[in-house]
Amino acid sequence: MITLDEYKQLSFEEKAQVTSAGEYLIGRYLTENHAIALYSVFDFYVEVQYDKRRERIIDFIAFKCTNYAMLETFLRQIRLKDLV
For residue 23, which amino acid is it?
A: E
* Residue 74 CA: distances (Å) to CA of 10, 13, 14, 20, 79: 25, 25, 25, 19, 11
CATH number, domain containing residue 75: 3.30.67
- Cα separation, 12 vs 58, in Å, equals 10
Per-residue pLDDT of 49-75, as tens digits, reads: 999 999 999 999 998 877 566 666 666
Q: Global pTM?
A: 0.76
Per the structure, how many domains does the chain have?
1
Boundaries of domain holding 33: 4-83
Maximum CA pair distance of the chain?
40
pLDDT in tens, 9-32: 999 999 999 999 998 988 877 778
